[in-house]
Structure 1
Amino acid sequence: MKNYIVSAFRLTLVMLAVVGVYLFVVYAGSKVLPTQGNAEIITHNGQKFYANIGQDFKSPKYFHGRPSNVDYNAAGSGGSNKGPSNKEYLDLVQKRIDTLKMQHPEMSGTEVPVELVTASGSGLDPDISEAGALYQAKRIAKERSLSEEKVEQLIASHTSKPLIELFGPAKVNVLQLNIALDQLK
């Protein structure tokens, strides 16, 4: 009996050390990041926004981000847990596609970017692809009485390229893009 207790105690100490070292490495690594492991808070028109959490933009004069299964509530992060063959999920995606095509009639022959009709695993993804932003450019230009080229230039200037042009896709932070859009005038 004594051997079991001593072995369990030793294992507990070893695991505390391993987990402690792991937590220290993760914490130290986060301090190297541009935001030093903290949320990136943006203040716009006296209101605070988290740049790394998706926001709900309903007005047609703003770019729209990915749909959210948690109504953009960061406290309840999560996906729908419905697979790609689930009838209810497929109906929801089709409804989103139909709505998007109705909002963008000028894009009828263009394929809808997948992130504009599917939610991310967390339901809080703040970014869309460059193609997703360009899909909405004509609507934004029309709503804001801007040239389409001006809107496309704004998208290009707010597109984050992949790490060393290899890792991950190019992406656009919707909140930052919409704030830049407001600052145009």
Structure 2
Amino acid sequence: MKYNIFPAIRLTLVCLLFFSGIYTLLILGIAQFSPNHGKGEILIFKNKKYYANIGQKFAEDHYFWSRPSAVEYNAAGAAGSNKGPTNPDYLKAVQERIDHFVKHNPEVQKSQIPSDLVTASGSGLDPNISVQAANVQVKRISGIRNINENKVQELIISNTEKPFLGVFGTEKINVLKLNIALDNLK
């Protein structure tokens, strides 16, 4: 034990210096090359500031709905529900979300509802939905806003983000940006 204590102390000090100093400065330096210098994507709409990289709650029928949040869209407490796929409470919550969606979108069959509209993401703050999740909401939104469905489809297409370098990830749509574009239609 006497021979191991000094190497352990040295290793602890090296790790402390590296992870609390060098690594932190490295990540901060890399962030300076990103848009808005690593502070996230900030959008101003109707004199309010929104962060496009954090999920926002949209539950009104005249908007595209966001992905559900396990933390009620509180960025200070990002987390998943930590409930397994067979947990009765989890299954009840998902079923309630499905029933709510079908009630507000009667033309959509349960089998057509994408999972990202009824399940929360791992962080609970995912700002994006799939293209399929946007498409199943078109009839509701076009009917309430009295907008041609093709116009709403064009908004979806113009707000679809392609995979990184064409291969990493899937197509997705930022709900905040899509809803701002929807509000700007009129």
Q: How does 1:7-156 map to 2 (within 5 A)?
A: 7-19=7-19, 20-108=21-109, 111-156=112-157
5+ long unaligned stretches in structure 2? none
Describe the SS at the equivalent of 1:172. strand
Measure the CA separation in 2 of the matches of 1:164 and 1:95: 37
Confirm or deny: 8 A CA contact 2:112 2:136 kept in the other structure.
no
Q: CA deviation at 1:64?
A: 0.6
Q: CA deviation at 1:55?
A: 0.9
After superposition, the C-alpha distances for 1:7-42 in whole angstroms (9 at most, x for unaligned) are: 344323432443233223322222222232112111
TM normalised by structure 1 equals 0.91
Describe the SS at the equivalent of 1:105. coil
Distance change in 2, residues 1:87/1:5 (3 Å): closer
After superposition, the C-alpha distances for 1:128-178 in whole angstroms (9 at most, x for unaligned) are: 011111111111111111110000000100010001211001110000110
Confirm or deny: 8 A CA contact 2:98 2:110 kept in the other structure.
no
Measure the CA separation in 2 of the matches of 1:115 and 1:35: 28
Aligned residues: 185
Distance change in 2, residues 1:9/1:69 (3 Å): closer
5+ long unaligned stretches in structure 1? none
Measure the CA separation in 2 of the matches of 1:7 and 1:109: 60
User: After alignment, is 115-124 or 3-12 more displaced?
Assistant: 3-12
Identity of aligned residues (%): 51
Measure the CA separation in 2 of the matches of 1:168 and 1:145: 34
TM normalised by structure 2 equals 0.91
Aligned match of 1:169: 170
